[in-house]
A and B are shown apart, each in its own frame.
Chain A
């Protein structure tokens, strides 16, 4: 266990709320990262704005904490300018699915050589728990006091449909599985996308009867179904993007393809 070789320990304790799943996702990431033996000096972290985007400031490597939603665009430029760098992007559901939605699908479409971790807490945590593009239908937030009338994005399926090479989803109640898919993703090329549903007991949980971190984690665990199980049950993808009505959170590897990455395409055979 070498936690703090990867982190900037002078910044601990970090700013995340008690029980926040971002910390868990970060721990899983560092474990996968250490297991894969990636060189911190040849790694860069890029993030946008939001709680999860603050992770870039806690990782002891070159890190770019940028503007809201644009992390992927910054990362694209950085990766193309220095192709020896492993570029990791930490982002959240608001950053990636709402304000940065276009950059997200376009980067997937290009199959840009980036590793992206989206910490999905189903709301805008940094600004105090407003509805985001992944807030579940009918769930309460500070801007949907009567329940969310909109339907959420299924970010993992969106990434897969847009052409990302590797897409997987788990929750912060599945740390072992998260590490496994992260490690698998690190061995793929092109756009790698890991969506981690996490507990946000302080905002999302407070409005939705999941006040304690443990309650929130139990809710995540109970509502997760592995994609293979889903298929065995004969359910379609439409069933599971909407937790409130019928579905569950599909977890597992959503897509594992071998399409040429952007850099492979521009570099050609030479």
Chain B
């Protein structure tokens, strides 16, 4: 599952914009720092998720790379 670490997210919404499969929604809850944290809504559409299910290496990762706050993790890849 993709996780957005609420303590790190600054609500820039880049993940929502960058995802080619619109996995993320902009969210409705504010974090303790006062930022609107996006939510993972359509994880089944995630390119990397589907590749890993087929035993392939992840290839997209645009959200993880683009996130300026290093807030997005994916537990499938052994992230904490």
Contacts and interface: CB of A to CB of B under 8 A. Distances in A.
Contacts of A19: 10, 12-14, 68
Interface residues of B, number: 26
B65 A176 contact: yes
Contacts of A212: 13
A256 to B, nearest CB: 24
* Chain B contact residues: helix, strand, loop or mixed: loop
Contact of B69 (A4, A13, A179, A218): A13
Interface in A1-31: 1, 3-4, 7, 12-14, 16-24, 26-28, 31
- Residue with the highest number of chain B CB atoms closer than 10 Å, among A18, A21, A22: A18
Contact of B65 (A7, A22, A27, A213): A27
Contacts of B43: none
B68 A20 contact: yes
Contacts of A27: 64-68, 70
B78 A1 contact: yes
A175 interface: yes
A133 to B, nearest CB: 24
Interface of A: 1, 3-4, 7, 12-14, 16-24, 26-28, 31, 172, 175-176, 179, 201, 212-214, 217-218
Interface of B: 7-8, 10-14, 17-18, 33, 35, 61-62, 64-71, 73-74, 77-79
